[in-house]
Amino acid sequence: MKKSYLFIAIALVATLLLGACAQATEAPATTEAPTEAPVVTEAPTEAPTTAPTEAPTEAAPVATLRIWADEQRAPVLAELGAEFKAQYNVDVVVENISGIRDQFAVAAPAGEGPDIIVIAHDQMPALVASGLLAPIELGAKSSEFVEEALKAFTYQGALYGMPYATENLGFFYNTDLVTEVPTTWQGVYDLSKQLIADGKVEYGMVLGGTSYDAYPWMSSQGGYIFGLDANGDYNPQDVGIDSEGMIKFGEMALQWKNDGVLSDNLDNTTAKSMFKDGTVAFMMNGPWELGNLRDAGTPFAVAAFPDSGAPFMGVQGFCVNAFSENILLAQSFLTEFVATEDAMLKFYQADPRVPALKSALEKMDDPDLIKIAEAGANAQPMPGIPEMGKVWGDWGNALTFIFDGSKTPEQAYKDAAANIRAAIATDTKGMVNLPGSWQKAAGFDCEWDPKCAATVMTLGDDGLYTATFKIPAGDYEVKVALDGGWDTNYGVDGVAGGDNVKFTVATEGDVLFSFDPNSHILTVTVP
């Protein structure tokens, strides 16, 4: 994206502001002889009384950008915002917000959200599905970013986030106990047995969880969560929880536990403590643990995973509010002021994570973080599709069932896969919903949510879908969405993907919604 793009954005905003003020700046001031007013040299210490607005000391900002970020990113963004203001007279307000995704989902459709948010890539698809994020155009700058990081923020063929950092697990080992890291899991097993026999450790390895934290081991055996479609996107119809590789992992983990090589602990906090105090020689963890280990004085290093295990990659990035009035300015701020080597290195220094900008990545100087990045050279972007939310519970529970002996590895993962497939197939299929600004006002824990179970319409004998809800007085907007998503939706006059249907409730009361599946027209009857 060229600088001219930014000038155009600012010019557009400025034009709007000038247009709004045009009426006030025309002829009415002729009787006041505006050219004579500035003669204040006789009393420079006194404030002019005739026309103080004619000699402003600073021009009013042409626009304001609001950014929601966390405490690590906020100071850097505030600094970049000051530079943006100095050069283009656009205010940048940075707010330190917790629970950004959830708060944004409510604020954005109401017109109260920020222009830019900082989120993880797996939070992006649901926001896109709700129509809350605008596509981002990086142009030639795309080639400056790590390809997998861009892929993580790509949904249904469009880019919805500009990445700034990636993170993945690495294979941590105690350097007082291990001098050469085995390259196979069998090697890890053999070395662990020797360390236990020598009385140096209680266990060889510990798992800090049952799913995400164990995934590099699972993937090394051929296990996967979702397969890929012809476009390289995750396919929710191809669930790999019961794949041969996943079951093989379960059998290996159980054998290691029974042999006393793998701790039966599956709690992350306990796992980290065991590694810090030297109870175990190996664990799988991420860059967020580096500071804790350094503070504890634990002798450690990081290696790649045995048998080419691939961890998940998480990507942090910037997204633009689809309801923003400053989309062009927001994208220009990101591409011209944030997507620079200097800015990305400042983010890295503020909170060490692997930069997603190639030039900043090359300047990374933390040796442990470099090793973690190397361990993630084959990392897989964690599935960010909405269906991933149906996976975590059953997938994680499977290993618990294996360790407590209630299910065999095969049965545990087959049952988990069956539950996941059923949840994906039945959760939203055939759903006719009424996402809109009214949902929250009516007392439901959703807004512009096409999957909200509380606002589903039902099919009547007359062939129409109807629903009635008590809604307080106010102005609202609504659409009809099918199958729990935005892929198929209808607006004004039954137009697919058309404008929102607007309605006004004068007095709180029952509002009847009626949808004709043939004409696709939604009728709203207010009290």
Alpha carbons 300 and 293: distance in angstroms, whole number:
8
Q: Quick: pLDDT tens for 307-350.
A: 999 999 999 999 999 999 999 999 999 999 999 999 999 999 99
Q: What band does 10 get if pLDDT is binned at 50, 70 and 90?
A: low
Which one, of 309, 261, 268, lies nearest residue 292 by Cα?
268
Fold designation for 432-525: Immunoglobulin-like (2.60.40)
Indicate if the pLDDT at residue 426 is higher than 50.
yes
Answer with the residue of higher pLDDT: 270 or 126.
Answer: 270
Dihedral sign from CA coordinates of 342, 88, 329, 115: positive
Indicate if the pLDDT at residue 3 is higher than 90.
no
Two structure tokens written together for 15? 């034009």
One-letter amino acid at 88 equals: Y
Q: Does residue 153 come out as left (phi exceeding 0), alpha (psi in the -120 to 50 range) or beta?
A: alpha
| Contact of 360 with 352, CB cutoff 8 Å | no
Please tell me whether residue 429 adopts helix, strand or coil conformation. coil
| Contact of 501 with 491, CB cutoff 8 Å | yes
Indicate if the pLDDT at residue 226 is higher than 90.
yes
* Confidence at residue 245, expressed as pLDDT on a 0 to 100 scale: 98
Q: Name residue 118's beta-bridge partners.
A: 318
Average pLDDT, the chain: 88
Fold designation for 170-310+391-424: D-Maltodextrin-Binding Protein; domain 2 (3.40.190)
Residues with Cβ within 8 Å of 38's Cβ and at least 6 positions away in sequence, in order, are 54, 55
Domain segments of the chain as ranges? 61-167+315-362, 170-310+391-424, 432-525
* Confidence at residue 281, expressed as pLDDT on a 0 to 100 scale: 98
Residues with Cβ within 8 Å of 117's Cβ and at least 6 positions away in sequence, in order, are 67, 68, 69, 100, 101, 104, 318, 319, 321
Fold designation for 61-167+315-362: D-Maltodextrin-Binding Protein; domain 2 (3.40.190)
Place of tokens 């939706």: 489
Q: Quick: pLDDT tens for 356-389.
A: 999 999 999 999 999 999 999 999 999 988 888 8
Residues with Cβ within 8 Å of 440's Cβ and at least 6 positions away in sequence, in order, are 106, 446, 447
* Confidence at residue 4, expressed as pLDDT on a 0 to 100 scale: 45
CA neighbours within 13 Å on the CB side: how many for 458? 6
The pTM score is 0.69
Which one, of 394, 393, 375, 410, lies nearest residue 252 by Cα?
410
Same fold, 61-167+315-362 and 170-310+391-424: yes
Q: Quick: pLDDT tens for 193-216.
A: 999 999 999 999 999 999 999 999
Alpha carbons 300 and 311: distance in angstroms, whole number:
19
Determine which helix (DSSP H) or strand (DSSP E) holds 101, and give its type and residue range.
Answer: helix 100-107
Alpha carbons 390 and 418: distance in angstroms, whole number:
11
